[in-house]
Amino acid sequence: MPPALLWLRHDLRLADHPALTAAAAQGSVIFLYIQDDASSDWRPGNTSNWWLYQSLTAFAKRMQLVLRRGRPDTVIADVLRQTGAGSLHFTRGYAPQSAAEETRVKAIADAAGVPCHRYGGYLLHEPEAIRNGQGEPYKVFTPFSRACFSRGEPRAPKPVPTFTPWTGDIDSESLSEWNLVPSDPDWAAGFPDYWHPGETGAQQQLSRFADEVLTGYSTSRDFPGVNGTSRLSPHLHFGEISPVQCWHSIRAAAARRHGALDADAEKFLTELLWRDFSWHLLHHVPDLPEKPFRPEFADFPWEANPAGLKAWQKGLTGYPIVDAGMRELWATGFMHNRVRMIAASFLIKHLLIPWQEGEHWFWDTLVDADLANNAASWQWVAGSGADAAPYFRIFNPVLQGEKFDAQGEYVRRWVPELAKLPAQWIHKPWEAPASTLSSAGVVIGKSYPAPVVAHGFARNRALAALKSLKGADA
């Protein structure tokens, strides 16, 4: 039988891979990955490229992997011609350009007389499958999640199929030629201390989460100073593990403990559905990453504030919980979810900087940079998105720090110049007595910056900006 061509995308795994399972039934399998740098305005950021390099390296250690750069339809036409592949298989994409891209690929396969097959597997539910009572897409998450839960459990995960890897001769580019990893300077040098990209690393992280972290997850996930989150998001983004595998693994963990983890399991499964909801939104609103979902926010009176943006990016705003998050992001490619909300709110509402600036920064610096989730989450904080938090809900970064990092463990780790401050002052060091600052070796304005803006002033300014909008919640 002629070989089957498997076009890999965000599905860098062998287990629970519907496209691979189908390809394996057709004959030996050719694994092809295409680096397309030109077909989208949202090309992967630098940190995503670091992860991609590690993930492809891990995959190539298990299977012969054909690497090519270029437009997928052009590359696939060439590979079909060189290998004589008898079928083409791939996992569906959901980015705005994906449908047109897949149409072009199918046309190439049709012209070559090669059957072309597209499969799900990146989401729990296809975006078209979940509709409200009027047959329209959902715009509010809670009824969306209820509709998903009401459909019952997702299908069971598929095992790694039995297949024969294709071993023919074909030109393949070298991964090192793609310049995906930084070198001068190597700002990602510390990333391997935190992450293990690849399918094996993903499965190990899922097991670790289920065994060691899931207990108490529904509450501990809000506290950045403890190990209380799944840290599965980059593995899910690159398809090193599927949401179906995650869903059933957590269900099984709860069952093993006789329902003791029901609240924690339900919270995690709801987070998986938020991921689905984000892609559901992007599928139906393709300009979600660029334009406010609520059109009245198109006229929001943002301010030009390059100095404020730079201070935020560098973790030098003078608000310790914000700065800790931004420094964690730079050092690890990740930021705790609760702190993401605090840092995003600060940029948008304290500094009046457009949410798109933060979205672009996260896109370039997060290992789990996900187009739909990133856009939906930034718009949620900005108040301009579907089912968004009201704009007038303005986080006080001091109170948020005191509530979710009461003893300052998180701040001490990522803002070490404040490490010797007592917990009473660590989230508001500018209010600490001079003797306390001196004992801790802190000089406000020198060793640690003064706040770039006063909270009270920023809050009043943000509310005034909101009132200027017609139709917005004032």
Alpha-carbon torsion, ordered 218, 222, 224, 227, to 10 deg = 0
**3-state DSSP call for residue 244?**
helix
Q: What burial class does residue 392 get, using C-beta atoms within 10 Å of its C-beta: 0-12 exposed, 13-18 middle, 19+ buried?
A: middle
- State phi, psi for 434 to the nearest 5 degrees: -55, -40
Helices (H), 386-442: 397-404, 409-414, 434-440
Residues recorded for the chain: 474
Residue 255 φ/ψ region, left for φ over 0, alpha for ψ in the -120 to 50 degree band, beta for the rest: alpha
Give how far the C-alpha of residue 19 lies from the chain's centroid of Cα atoms, to the nearest Å.
Answer: 23
Catalytic residues: 271, 274, 302, 337, 355, 378
**Residues 17 and 158: beta-carbon distance below 8 Å:** yes
User: Which DSSP string corresponds to 10-68?
Assistant: S---STT-HHHHHHHTTSSEEEEEEE-SSS-SS---HHHHHHHHHHHHHHHTTS-EEEE
Contacts (Cβ under 8 Å, ≥6 apart) of 401: 319, 320, 321, 342, 408, 411, 426, 427
- State phi, psi for 175 to the nearest 5 degrees: -60, -35
